[in-house]
């Protein structure tokens, strides 16, 4: 049986079943992506609740696995060659787990390249831009009177949603079959209600994105991921 005691994180978040994938997360959009994939694949896993408080994400135990002090992170006790593998960064985790399960990564080499293209688009574009927009629209408050950060991020969010809308023309999912690209993108689209930003980004003018996000959250795994691990 795998011994995970060499991972210092297990001192603060003890492992019940070391044969299972260990997920260290919180149900934010970046956390939901990986929980959704784990639910979709049926890979056995154990979820540990790591809040965004410094006492958790900046603890030495958490930093030992995720030096960027951000959720999600995993330990796969049965990694390549049978050795345990620790990973952080949701995009890397999605690709690793999809490869391990042999699911949701595209059927051909070309499909796989397109799936990864859209995962990268989410990681470098949609996620960071919606996150910054949410900060300036919902949280920054009166202390920041300069309208430019808000305008910049709202404009980028609107542009990126337009790109996605175009890519979804005539398609159910962004890269062909349902894939980790949709699991990366869907949870971020789910933040727009919370930010109260739908009117700002021209939501009602989008032809395809509203139906896409509804389709995504109709999936039981996507729905379940919104509460894994429970808040
Ligand atoms: N690029 C990272 C971003 C992860 C991320 O931003 N996580 C946030 C929650 S959604 C977090 O852990 N924040 C805690 C902090 O920054 O202190 C990924 O995709 O895994």
Nearest CA to ligand 1 atom 6: 70
Pocket of ligand 1 from Cβ distances under 6 Å: 28, 30, 52, 57, 69-72, 89-91
The whole-number pLDDT of residue 1 equals: 67
Instruction: Examine residue 72 and say whether the peptide bond preceding it is cis (omega within 30 degrees of 0).
Output: yes
Q: Which residues, including other chains, have CB under 8 Å from residue 100's CB and lie 6 or more apart?
A: 43, 76
Ligand 1 pocket, mutate which of 50, 55, 59, 71 (most atoms under 8 A from CB):
71
CATH class of 9-103: alpha beta
The whole-number pLDDT of residue 141 equals: 73
Nearest CA to ligand 1 atom 5: 70
Task: Give me the phi and psi of 48, to 5 degrees please.
Answer: -115, 135
The whole-number pLDDT of residue 145 equals: 82
Intervals of the chain under pLDDT 50: none
Ligand 1 atom at minimum distance from 72 CA = 20
Q: Hey, CA dihedral for 34, 218, 49, 69, is it positive or negative?
A: positive
Q: What is the CATH number of domain 109-222?
A: 1.20.1050.10
What are the residue boundaries of the structural domains of the chain, listed by start?
A: 9-103, 109-222
The whole-number pLDDT of residue 3 equals: 86
pLDDT one-digit tens code per residue, 8-53 = 999 999 999 999 999 999 999 999 999 999 999 999 999 999 999 9
The whole-number pLDDT of residue 118 equals: 98
């Amino acid at each position: 049986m795998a011994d995970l005691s060499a991972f210092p994180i297990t001192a603060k978040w003890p492992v019940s079943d070391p044969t299972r994938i260990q997920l260290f997360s919180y149900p934010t959009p970046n956390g939901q992506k990986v929980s959704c994939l784990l639910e979709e694949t049926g890979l056995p896993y154990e979820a540990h609740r790591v809040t965004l408080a410094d006492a958790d994400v900046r603890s030495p135990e958490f930093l030992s696995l995720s030096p960027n002090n951000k959720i999600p992170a995993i330990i796969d006790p049965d990694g390549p060659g049978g050795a345990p593998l620790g990973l952080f960064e949701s995009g890397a985790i999605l690709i690793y787990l999809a490869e391990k399960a042999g699911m949701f990564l595209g059927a051909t080499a070309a499909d796989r390249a397109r799936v990864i293209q859209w995962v990268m688009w989410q990681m470098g574009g949609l996620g960071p831009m919606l996150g910054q927009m949410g900060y300036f629209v919902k949280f920054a408050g009166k202390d920041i009177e300069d309208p430019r950060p808000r305008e910049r991020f709202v404009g980028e969010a609107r542009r990126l949603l337009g790109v996605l809308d175009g890519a979804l023309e005539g398609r159910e999912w962004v890269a062909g079959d349902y894939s980790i690209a949709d699991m990366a993108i869907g949870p971020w689209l789910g933040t727009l209600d919370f930010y109260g930003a739908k009117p700002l980004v021209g939501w009602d003018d989008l032809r395809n994105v509203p139906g896409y996000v509804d389709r995504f959250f109709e999936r039981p795994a996507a729905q379940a991921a919104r509460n894994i691990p429970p808040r």
